[in-house]
Chains A and B, each alone.
Chain A
Amino acid sequence: MSGEPIRRRDFLRRAGTTGLVAAGAALGGAWLHDQRRGDGYFRQQREAAAGRLPSYRVDRGSQAPAMAVARGRDPEALVRAAFGALGGMDQLVRPGDVVVLKPNVAFDRPPALGATTSPAVLAAVARLCQEAGAGRVLVVDNPINQPEGCFHKSGIQAAADAVGAEVVLPRPAAFAPLRIDGEVLTTWPMLYEPLARAHKVIGIAPLKDHNLCRASMTMKNWYGLLGGRRNQFHQRIHGIVADFPHMIQPTAVVLDATRILMRNGPTGGSLSDVAAGDTVVVGTDMVAVDTFGYGLLGRDPAELEYLHRAEARGLGSTRWRDQVWREVQVG
């Protein structure tokens, strides 16, 4: 070897650098080393889901009405009368509460076609919440059609803006997998971000014919909180709908039967598919409210499979007449 011998300092610096790089690579590799076999990998994937939704119910005592029906023309007066007959919004919403309202905004349709929750009903519920002292009112749905168009065309966005409620659009980041542990659904991505902030949740569903599950009412409305591959639900639709009252225990539900989509549901599309219903039903028992609602469609609740499945699981009662309920006529 020619040239000058390497100086000790240089040797230490250069060999030390090489040594550090080698040690760093070894440590990094050891740190990132994944020893799981395939089954471990897939099992962990399946069990990675987060917790369950809390219950949003309010204990109002056993003698409080489980359902109230208001009949009349003016949607705002109907909503007020129905919640009044149920015992008042003050029982349900406490000052400072964050309230999530879940209308059905599934389709890009004008409100008169009855495919979506009536903006007047939504606005009235939001106002009642605000009068009861709600801190914030959030309006949440994950529509089937393009979301911004749905909120705009259905009039829900304008109604929310008018009363000072906030529409929370279903951005991908707002979804999280939640445990449902239902009959069909085990875990599923849910529009969780607004629900995580909420103290109270009120579902506001239009009364609609449905091509597959016969009717879309307050139970089916929760479909709109889910994300992911919802188009698989139809393979076991009655089991799925009966899973919803298990998945979420809302503070109350509103069945908006101010106008009723009688046929060609759930999309409608023609004014001739819509009939005047002039009714608003509110309640805390979704099964009871939907049983009543199915009657408003002129059909026999005995034939509606998901109601009976839910009842058999103790998630509500189809025998609403046996419960405490109220009926009021407005105007």
Chain B
Amino acid sequence: MPAMPFLRITRARWLSQLFFLGLFLFFAFVTQFGYLKGYPVSLFLEVDPLVAVATALTAHAVYHGLLSSLILLIPTLFLGRFFCNWVCPYGTLHQVTGWLFNRRPPPARIDSNRYRRVYALKYYILLWMLVMAAFGSLQVGLLDPLCLFFRSVTVSLLPALDMAGGWIYLRPHSHQLAWVVGLILVGLVAANLIIPRFFCRALCPLGASLGLLSRFSLWRIDRDPAACVDCDLCLPRCEGASDPHTNLRKSECFVCFNCLDDCPHDALRFAFLPDLMREVTGPDLQARRAIFAGLLGVLFYPFSRRSGDLDENFAKEVVRPPASVAEPEFLERCIKCDQCIRVCPTNVLQPAMMEAGVEGIWTPVLNMRMGYCELNCTLCGQVCPTGAIQQIAIAQKLGVGEFADLGPVKIGTAFYDRGRCLPWAMDTPCVVCEEVCPTSPKAIYSREVEIVTRWGERRVLRQPYVDPQLCIGCGICEHECPVVDYRAIRVTAVGETRSPDRSLLLGTAADAPRST
């Protein structure tokens, strides 16, 4: 075997992988108040064609930057699933994990990189997701590698890393069920120790979409049967398990070029328009299984919608970020990437588990015990790549100036639980809620009353009320309430601006009295 040249294409590939992994992590790090500046932090999600196609299916529109996903089609149509082994940061994570922890002798590596039927699973997953999307339920984010990786970084990884000295957050951020998101990350990464690149080969719906597209690509790895001695030495480092030792499975090849390095007889080359007889052009799909996967979508959509999460029985505790679109459309647009959760400065945004229905897993909800919605902040809408949370100006959120006719953006309404409230139930002064209420005039007001305590002592104190016309549901009252377990004032979704069927008061938010 000739010595490998120092400058070779696989070295360039490593540079590219490390660059994009670094860039992804850099964007994830700067997606926070104080670092955000003008960085295009949504770039990775915006060039993700699966996100663009699926949201186009659900919402019948390609939102803002998602058009740039066309860029990714260009290398795919020329080179194949180039993205998977040159760009995808999640793929790089899997590859590096395997390289570090899955050392095996070459014969075992050859076996672990042979194609298996289970690798077709990703196409059925993709199909199920696209059928769901066609009905209006966006589920690609569950497994799309960029959404999945960003979510894992946001919800589990950064808060964990921050524990070493608090270098990320000013005040530590926590996320409900971070351990579940973390366990999924660890589990998928650990799968590399059994089957290399298991996620990329078997589960990844983005890889599946690119695999489908790669049938049109003009270049591919090609084996010269005359030169090949069937030594299988192209397999020990084959990332995609794409059978380079025989007729290449074009849809599975990650274009990592390791086989070109490893072939001792120069029988492999990256060829332009090679012989179609020497390739397996399309994925290994079975029509009846594909129909079954589609049927799962056809059935699961009504199963979830008839669970009632969008109708009368909608989850009352599910308060969505300000300027979110109405819930049915929210589920058409939210890709569960959790960038909003990452950028939220108060830690109020949390990934939902089941509280927003099965379709709403990992979508953002507000937890007022963990934070509150900052009045002069619209960062979640700034970073949302799909318009599930609309990009609005502060003036629009406040309903002032040119937006006065729209009124303020309300995300819910606060209600007192008088049995738990200190001035109402325990003869004790408090009204922290009124103090922190940020609207002007305050939505929370208090009436001075003179009470006689059980010991006959006369005492003057203030008892608080909510003015539902002024309340915007920001939840700072709930967050600051001293009854710290089950708060004495709590925000629920009723009155939210985004859905007319959840309104509370007759009339519009713009009718609310306001100081000029």
Query: A8 within 8 Å of B by Cβ?
Result: no
Residues of chain A within 8 A of B482, CB atoms compared:
229, 231-232, 234-235
Looking at the assembled complex, report how far the CB atom of A243 sits from the nearest CB atom of chain B, in whole angstroms: 16
Query: B270 within 8 Å of A by Cβ?
Result: no
CB of B166 within 8 A of CB of A173, answer yes
- Contact check: which of B34, B428, B515 meets A270 at CB < 8 Å? B515
| Mask: chain B, 430-454; 1 = CB below 8 Å from A; 0 = not | 1110111111111000100000000
| Mask: chain B, 352-383; 1 = CB below 8 Å from A; 0 = not | 00000000000000000000001111000000
Residues of chain B within 8 A of A170, CB atoms compared:
170
Count of residues in B whose CB is under 8 Å from the partner chain: 37
Query: B22 within 8 Å of A by Cβ?
Result: no
Leading 5 A-B pairs by shortest Cβ distance:
A269-B440, A270-B515, A270-B440, A272-B515, A231-B482
CB of B429 within 8 A of CB of A234, answer yes
Residues of chain B within 8 A of A232, CB atoms compared:
482
User: Which residue of chain A is the closest to B435 with respect to CB atoms?
Assistant: A211
Looking at the assembled complex, report how far the CB atom of B502 sits from the nearest CB atom of chain A, in whole angstroms: 25
Query: B316 within 8 Å of A by Cβ?
Result: no
In the complex where A212-B429, A212-B434 touch, is A146 in contact with B374 (Cβ < 8 A)? yes
Query: B420 within 8 Å of A by Cβ?
Result: no
- Contact check: which of B376, B429, B480 meets A153 at CB < 8 Å? B376
Looking at the assembled complex, report how far the CB atom of A114 sits from the nearest CB atom of chain B, in whole angstroms: 11
User: Which residue of chain B is the closest to A169 with respect to CB atoms?
Assistant: B170
- Contact check: which of B34, B377, B515 meets A264 at CB < 8 Å? B515
Residues of chain A within 8 A of B171, CB atoms compared:
147, 171-172
Query: B412 within 8 Å of A by Cβ?
Result: no
Some 13 contacts from A to B, beta carbons below 8 A apart, are A109-B376, A146-B374, A148-B33, A153-B376, A169-B170, A211-B435, A234-B431, A234-B435, A235-B482, A267-B437, A270-B514, A272-B516, A273-B515
In whole angstroms, what is the CA distance A231 to B439 when docked? 19
CB of B33 within 8 A of CB of A146, answer yes
Residues of chain A within 8 A of B439, CB atoms compared:
269
Query: B207 within 8 Å of A by Cβ?
Result: no
CB of A146 within 8 A of CB of B442, answer no
Residues of chain A within 8 A of B170, CB atoms compared:
147-148, 169-171
Segment 159-193 of A: residues with Cβ below 8 Å from B: 169-173
Looking at the assembled complex, report how far the CB atom of B213 sits from the nearest CB atom of chain A, in whole angstroms: 43
Segment 256-288 of A: residues with Cβ below 8 Å from B: 264, 266-273
Query: A18 within 8 Å of B by Cβ?
Result: no
- Contact check: which of A173, A212, A229, A272 meets B435 at CB < 8 Å? A212
User: Which residue of chain A is the closest to B165 with respect to CB atoms?
Assistant: A173
| Mask: chain A, 133-149; 1 = CB below 8 Å from B; 0 = not | 00000000000111111
Query: B481 within 8 Å of A by Cβ?
Result: yes
Query: B172 within 8 Å of A by Cβ?
Result: yes
CB of A267 within 8 A of CB of B435, answer yes
CB of A234 within 8 A of CB of B442, answer no
Query: A210 within 8 Å of B by Cβ?
Result: yes
CB of A171 within 8 A of CB of B166, answer yes
Residues of chain B within 8 A of A132, CB atoms compared:
none
In the complex where A108-B376, A145-B374, A172-B166 touch, is A235 in contact with B428 (Cβ < 8 A)? yes
Query: B246 within 8 Å of A by Cβ?
Result: no
| Mask: chain B, 476-498; 1 = CB below 8 Å from A; 0 = not | 10001110100000000000000
User: Which residue of chain A is the closest to B171 with respect to CB atoms?
Assistant: A172
Looking at the assembled complex, report how far the CB atom of A16 sits from the nearest CB atom of chain B, in whole angstroms: 38
In whole angstroms, what is the CA distance A169 to B374 when docked? 18
CB of B374 within 8 A of CB of A231, answer no
Residues of chain B within 8 A of A237, CB atoms compared:
429
User: Which residue of chain A is the closest to B379 with respect to CB atoms?
Assistant: A149
Residues of chain B within 8 A of A108, CB atoms compared:
374-377
Query: B462 within 8 Å of A by Cβ?
Result: yes
Residues of chain B within 8 A of A264, CB atoms compared:
440-442, 515
Residues of chain B within 8 A of A153, CB atoms compared:
376
In whole angstroms, what is the CA distance A281 to B345 when docked? 35
CB of A212 within 8 A of CB of B516, answer no
Residues of chain B within 8 A of A145, CB atoms compared:
346, 374, 476
In whole angstroms, what is the CA distance A264 to B430 when docked? 17
In whole angstroms, what is the CA distance A50 to B481 when docked? 28
In whole angstroms, what is the CA distance A211 to B448 when docked? 11
| Mask: chain A, 19-52; 1 = CB below 8 Å from B; 0 = not | 0000000000000000000000000000000000
In the complex where A146-B33, A149-B374, A173-B166 touch, is A211 in contact with B430 (Cβ < 8 A)? no
| Mask: chain B, 158-170; 1 = CB below 8 Å from A; 0 = not | 0000000010001
In whole angstroms, what is the CA distance A111 to B434 when docked? 21
CB of A231 within 8 A of CB of B429, answer no
User: Which residue of chain B is the closest to A236 with respect to CB atoms?
Assistant: B429
Looking at the assembled complex, report how far the CB atom of A189 sits from the nearest CB atom of chain B, in whole angstroms: 14
Residues of chain A within 8 A of B441, CB atoms compared:
264, 270
Query: B422 within 8 Å of A by Cβ?
Result: yes
Known: A149-B374, A237-B429, A270-B515. 17 other contacts (CB 8 A): A108-B376, A109-B376, A147-B170, A148-B34, A149-B376, A152-B34, A211-B434, A212-B434, A231-B481, A234-B432, A264-B440, A267-B435, A267-B440, A267-B442, A270-B440, A270-B441, A273-B440
Residues of chain A within 8 A of B430, CB atoms compared:
234-235
Looking at the assembled complex, report how far the CB atom of B170 sits from the nearest CB atom of chain A, in whole angstroms: 6
Looking at the assembled complex, report how far the CB atom of B341 sits from the nearest CB atom of chain A, in whole angstroms: 15
CB of B166 within 8 A of CB of A267, answer no
- Contact check: which of B172, B428, B436, B476 meets A172 at CB < 8 Å? B172
Residues of chain B within 8 A of A229, CB atoms compared:
482, 484
Segment 270-320 of A: residues with Cβ below 8 Å from B: 270-273
In whole angstroms, what is the CA distance A250 to B432 when docked? 27
In whole angstroms, what is the CA distance A172 to B169 when docked? 10
Residues of chain A within 8 A of B345, CB atoms compared:
146, 148-149
Query: A107 within 8 Å of B by Cβ?
Result: yes
Looking at the assembled complex, report how far the CB atom of B153 sits from the nearest CB atom of chain A, in whole angstroms: 20
User: Which residue of chain A is the closest to B439 with respect to CB atoms?
Assistant: A269
Looking at the assembled complex, report how far the CB atom of B37 sits from the nearest CB atom of chain A, in whole angstroms: 12
In whole angstroms, what is the CA distance A120 to B514 when docked? 29
Residues of chain B within 8 A of A149, CB atoms compared:
33, 345, 374, 376-377
- Contact check: which of B428, B440, B462 meets A212 at CB < 8 Å? B462
In whole angstroms, what is the CA distance A185 to B3 when docked? 76
Segment 302-319 of B: residues with Cβ below 8 Å from A: none
CB of A107 within 8 A of CB of B438, answer yes
CB of B429 within 8 A of CB of A235, answer yes
Segment 81-102 of B: residues with Cβ below 8 Å from A: none
In whole angstroms, what is the CA distance A110 to B439 when docked? 14
User: Which residue of chain A is the closest to B422 with respect to CB atoms?
Assistant: A235
Residues of chain A within 8 A of B375, CB atoms compared:
108, 269
Segment 170-211 of B: residues with Cβ below 8 Å from A: 170-172
Residues of chain A within 8 A of B476, CB atoms compared:
145
| Mask: chain B, 23-37; 1 = CB below 8 Å from A; 0 = not | 000000000011000
Residues of chain A within 8 A of B446, CB atoms compared:
211
